[in-house]
Amino acid sequence: MVCLTVYCHLMRKSEMWEALQFEFMRNALAAGILVSIACGVIGSLVVVNRIVFISGGIAHAAYGGIGLAFYTGIPPTLGAAIFSVGGSLLMGMVSLKTKHRADTFIGVLWAIGMALGVILVDLTPGYNADLMSYLFGSILAVPGSDLWFMVPMDMAIVLVILLFYKEFIAMSYDEEFAFVVGMPIRALYLALLCMIGLSVVMIIRVVGLILVIALLTIPPYIAEKYTTSLARMMVLSSLLGILFALAGLWLSFKFNLTSGATIILVAGAAFLLSQAADGLRRRSSPLKEGS
Q: Which residue ranges make up the site for another protein (CB under 8 A)? A: 48, 163-167, 169-170, 172-174, 176-184, 224, 227-230, 232-233, 290-291
**Cβ atoms of residues 87 and 198 within 8 Å:** no
Question: Rg for the chain (alpha carbons), in Å?
Answer: 20
Closest CB to another protein among 144 and 184? 184
Which of 197, 191, 243, 201 is closest to 222 using CA atoms? 243
Q: How far is the CB of 100 from another protein (least distance, A)?
A: 10
CA distance 240 to 230: 15
CA 61 to chain centre: 14
Q: How far is the CB of 178 from another protein (least distance, A)?
A: 7
Closest CB to another protein among 61 and 178? 178
CA distance 42 to 252: 26
Closest CB to another protein among 5 and 228? 228
Closest CB to another protein among 129 and 180? 180
Sign (positive/negative) of CA torsion 219, 225, 231, 236? negative
Q: How far is the CB of 233 from another protein (least distance, A)?
A: 5
Closest CB to another protein among 112 and 231? 231
Q: How far is the CB of 224 from another protein (least distance, A)?
A: 6
Q: How far is the CB of 166 from another protein (least distance, A)?
A: 7
Give the contacts of 116 (CB within 8 A, at least 6 positions apart). 63, 64, 67, 68
Q: How far is the CB of 109 from another protein (least distance, A)?
A: 24
CA distance 240 to 124: 40
Closest CB to another protein among 183 and 201? 183
Closest CB to another protein among 128 and 274? 274
**Cβ atoms of residues 221 and 275 within 8 Å:** no
**Cβ atoms of residues 23 and 142 within 8 Å:** no
Closest CB to another protein among 29 and 223? 223
Q: How far is the CB of 186 from another protein (least distance, A)?
A: 13
**Cβ atoms of residues 240 and 223 within 8 Å:** yes
Which of 20, 27, 51, 26 is closest to 150 using CA atoms? 27
Give the contacts of 285 (CB within 8 A, at least 6 positions apart). none
Q: How far is the CB of 154 from another protein (least distance, A)?
A: 20
